[in-house]
Structure 1
Amino acid sequence: MDQNSLRKLVEGQLLRLEGNAFQDCMDRLGMELYPGDYEPVRAAGPKGDTKNDGYCPKARVFFAAHATRGERIDRTKAKIRRDLEGCLQEHRDVRVWRFLTNDTAPGEVDQFIDNELRPLYRGVIIEVWGIKTLADVISKLKRDQVDRIIDVITVDDPEPHVVALNHVKTGRDLWPILSGCLGWLEHIEPDDCSDEEQDVIDSAVQAFRDWSDISSDIEYSRSEVRDAQRSITEILKELSGDGLVLYAGMGQDYPLTSGPSPFLGPVAIFKIARVRGGAEGTH
């Protein structure tokens, strides 16, 4: 599994977590990032968790973990303010206060932190790690660390599933596959490719993967998605100009991990074929 596939896998796993499950996952992350220093904290007694979900006594880094997926912006802002101020009241020498969430922080939340909270508490480094930052940090760790944090065992060569592939002619047709997958299988191509054909195919497949990697970043902008689809259409036209066509599909519930609780997710499958008598349809 390559780096981009692993990052998307981690992001997908984080999205599934809620409540204590997300806090437990963040505890495992803290223990990997700060071995021998990180200490989990859970609510107990009348004082609760003293506005601290976990901290590093030596590094003086304090964590607040909250699964905010689908939560209203005003509630998220109130939660951040309450946890930060409570932590500073209860603990001394707070150097870094880090808010961890399995969502992407809206711009309004970023502005709130930058314009209101940071000026009030200039002696504290205030950070928000949203889902993309968390996925990026986790996926760059060693594979065994990733497995411990997201509580699954990743595998490099999952068994393939049989999937029907359709002849794809436009970027609009291919986009649901690229934006909906968490990874991809190695593409299939003709055995007798010339060097020029190989270059065209490699360039096209890499472009498809690149668009897939950033699809979640641009899906909220219709104009950016349309630009992406038009660019993909041009790539498909270039393939067609060399007598090549793309068949693609998406395998659902594909085992991206192994172990007692495998993580299942969609993968993209690409097949490049030569035009044979104008036949189109499913493969």
Structure 2
Amino acid sequence: MDQNSLRKLVEGQLLRLEGNAFQDCMDRLGLELYPGDYQPVRAAGPKGDTKNDGYCPKARVFFAAHATRGERIDKTKVKIRGDLEGCLQEHRDVKVWRFLTNDTLPGEVNQFIDNELRPRYRGVTIEVWGIKTLADELSKLKREQIDRIIDVITVDEPEFEVVILNHVKTGRDLWPILSGCLGWLEHEEPEDCTDEEQDLIDDAVQSFRDWSDISGDIEFSRSSVRDAQRSLTAILEELAEKGLALYSATKDNYPLTGGPSPFLGTVAIFRIARVSPAVPTKA
């Protein structure tokens, strides 16, 4: 398995972690990155975890791990401010405060950190490790270290199999793919995207994943499913206006966990390709 494929698998696995499972994973990462220094922390007693999910007493690096996927922006900002200020109040000589999340923080949250928190606490290096950074850091480690940190696919790769991707033009066609998968592989996109196109693609893929996450909750309501399909159709039409098309399919029996007896499930595959925009016909 090459480095890029491993990073994509690690990223996909991190996306599935929530709550304590994500914190436990970040503890294992800290133990590998700072051997002999990192100490996990858990809430106990009236003071809880003293706003500290784990730290390095020698390096004076403090960690706050929080799975933010699907969380409201205002709640994330309150969480970050509270954890940072609480940590600085409870602990001395904090050199680095690192916020770990299995999401890509919205621009508004990053702006809040850069414009409000960093100027206010200039003596502390405030870092944010989102999903991309975490996947990159994990992928730099040895395979046995990765196995200790996260239940990632490190078994021998299955025999090569061709998956035919279909051009998806409507939300009605896309919905069975999103509602029938347990995960997704890293999407492919054109390499020459403009900033506007990149933002459009990122928003589209995030919407696909969001709808996939809640599909099981709304499947019982035909009207809710139709609303979802109409929303997806609008996204696909917006891509088409920019000369971009979605090709998608599912892959069954894909190993979602590592080990000798991995958990198998269906994953979605997305590929966004550049095509010629449709030319309106004259009446």
TM-score bin, normalised by smaller chain: 0.5 to 0.7
Aligned to 1:109: 109
Asked if the contact 2:184/2:267 (under 8 Å) is kept, the reply is: yes
Aligned to 1:79: 79
Aligned to 1:229: 244
Structure 1 residues 224, 142: CA separation in 2 closer, same or farther (over 3 Å shift)?
farther
Aligned to 1:239: none
- 1:81-100 matches, cutoff 5 A: 81-100=81-100
- 1:169-180 matches, cutoff 5 A: none
Structure 1 residues 79, 92: CA separation in 2 closer, same or farther (over 3 Å shift)?
same
TM-score by length of 1: 0.67
Partners of 1:138 and 1:164 in 2: how far apart?
28
Q: What root-mean-square deviation, in Å, do the aligned CA atoms of Structure 1 and Structure 2 show?
A: 3.5
The alignment partner of 1:68 has SS state of coil
Q: What is the CA-CA distance between 1:255 and the residue it aligns to?
A: 1.6
Q: What is the CA-CA distance between 1:12 and the residue it aligns to?
A: 1.2
Aligned to 2:147: 147
The alignment partner of 2:127 has SS state of strand
The alignment partner of 1:126 has SS state of strand
Confirm or deny that 1:50 pairs with 2:50.
Answer: yes
Asked if the contact 1:152/1:262 (under 8 Å) is kept, the reply is: no
Aligned to 2:267: 266
Asked if the contact 1:101/1:131 (under 8 Å) is kept, the reply is: yes
Aligned to 1:219: 202
Which consecutive residues of structure 1, in runs of 5 or more, have no partner in the other structure? Answer: 184-207, 234-247, 270-283
Task: Give the number of aligned pairs.
Answer: 223
Confirm or deny that 1:64 pairs with 2:64.
Answer: yes
Partners of 2:21 and 2:198 in 1: how far apart?
24
Letter of the 2:244 partner, please give it. Q
Partners of 1:152 and 1:76 in 2: how far apart?
27
The alignment partner of 2:203 has SS state of coil
Partners of 1:142 and 1:267 in 2: how far apart?
28
The alignment partner of 2:62 has SS state of strand
Partners of 2:15 and 2:86 in 1: how far apart?
27
TM-score by length of 2: 0.67
Aligned to 2:8: 8
Aligned to 1:241: none
Letter of the 1:220 partner, please give it. D
1:165-209 per-position Cα deviation (integer Å, ceiling 9, x unaligned): 46x6x6979xx89xx8526xxxxxxxxxxxxxxxxxxxxxxxx96
Q: What is the CA-CA distance between 1:96 and the residue it aligns to?
A: 0.3
- 1:224-263 matches, cutoff 5 A: 225-226=239-240, 229=244, 250-255=250-255, 257-259=257-259, 262=262
Aligned to 2:224: none
Letter of the 1:126 partner, please give it. I
- 1:188-227 matches, cutoff 5 A: 211=190, 218-220=201-203, 225-226=239-240
Aligned to 2:185: 182
Partners of 1:141 and 1:50 in 2: how far apart?
30
Q: What is the CA-CA distance between 1:4 and the residue it aligns to?
A: 1.9
The alignment partner of 2:20 has SS state of helix
1:192-243 per-position Cα deviation (integer Å, ceiling 9, x unaligned): xxxxxxxxxxxxxxxx96649x99973316699555736x99xxxxxxxxxx
Letter of the 1:182 partner, please give it. L
Partners of 1:137 and 1:164 in 2: how far apart?
30
Q: What is the CA-CA distance between 1:112 and the residue it aligns to?
A: 0.6
The alignment partner of 1:21 has SS state of helix
1:63-113 per-position Cα deviation (integer Å, ceiling 9, x unaligned): 000111111111110010100001001111100000011111001101110
Q: What is the CA-CA distance between 1:158 and the residue it aligns to?
A: 2.3
Partners of 1:228 and 1:35 in 2: how far apart?
50
1:246-274 per-position Cα deviation (integer Å, ceiling 9, x unaligned): xx9542341255316625463769xxxxx
Q: Identity of counterpart residues, as a percentage?
A: 73
Partners of 2:139 and 2:9 in 1: how far apart?
9
Structure 1 residues 71, 216: CA separation in 2 closer, same or farther (over 3 Å shift)?
farther
Aligned to 2:120: 120
Aligned to 1:134: 134
Aligned to 2:214: none
Which consecutive residues of structure 2, in runs of 5 or more, have no partner in the other structure? Answer: 178-182, 205-234, 271-283
Partners of 2:145 and 2:169 in 1: how far apart?
38
Aligned to 2:216: none
Larger Rg: 1
